[in-house]
Amino acid sequence: MEYSRVLEIAPRKFGCAEIKHDTPTSFDRLRGKLHGQPLERDTYCRLLINGSVVMTDAEFERSTNMLPVIRAKGDALIAGLGIGLILEPFLKQCTSVTVIEKEPDVIELVGKNFYESTIIHADIFEWLPARKAKLFDTIYFDIWPNICMDDLREARTLHKKFRPYLRKGGYMESWCRIACFYR
């Protein structure tokens, strides 16, 4: 699956959120390679919140998100807008896509690039669909800027909470579960 629109998000800052495009240094490339996260392209897009990187379009993030991209179908729910790395292919494959994003500055900065989706400003740990809301065929949680085994507890909580909103035969996954066991 090709992700093409991500780098079309112009570098700019809004509030605490910022989009940067940059080229990795030779040291960054070597460090990435040593950690199994090669950086082979010339330019990367990064989302920073309060100066800290929370998402990139680097190869590691693309490859660890491939399975949900392949499995996406029907009505989808995504937790975490980020730079739209997941949202773009979901929009091509799904009937509808609802995104829950807790940072309003990210919505302002990135959301307007994805007008085909429904973006809701809320925290996924507090938000629930309306009582009579439709069920989702695909639910994907992509909210962790850094992955560690402790995040699996949060993922389990979200999976339990949203299982009643998953259509029978649907697909639900979390980026932290994939990334913790990736290799």
Model-level pTM?
0.89
Torsion (CA) 157, 158, 160, 162 in degrees, nearest 10 = 160
Per-residue confidence (pLDDT) for residue 12, from 0 to 100: 93
Per-residue confidence (pLDDT) for residue 183, from 0 to 100: 47
Burial class (CB within 10 angstroms; exposed 0-12, middle 13-18, buried 19+) of 159: middle
DSSP calls for 35-60: TT----SS-EEEEEETTEEEEE--HH
The one-letter amino acid code at 106 reads V
The per-residue pLDDT for range 57-85, each reduced to its tens digit, is 888 888 888 899 999 999 999 999 999 99
Please give the domain boundaries of the chain with CATH numbers for all domains. Answer: 6-62 (no CATH), 71-180 (3.40.50.150)
Reading the block at residue 124, the tokens are 């996924």
| Residue ranges in the chain whose pLDDT is less than 70 | 1-7, 182-183
Contact partners, residue 8, CB within 8 Å, separation at least 6: 113
Per-residue confidence (pLDDT) for residue 2, from 0 to 100: 53
| Nearest of 132, 65, 134 to residue 97 by alpha carbon | 134
Question: Distance between CA 56 and CA 45 in Å, rounded?
Answer: 6
Per-residue confidence (pLDDT) for residue 3, from 0 to 100: 52
State how far the alpha carbon of 6 is from the alpha carbons of 16, 21, 99, 114, 120, in Å.
20, 11, 16, 11, 20
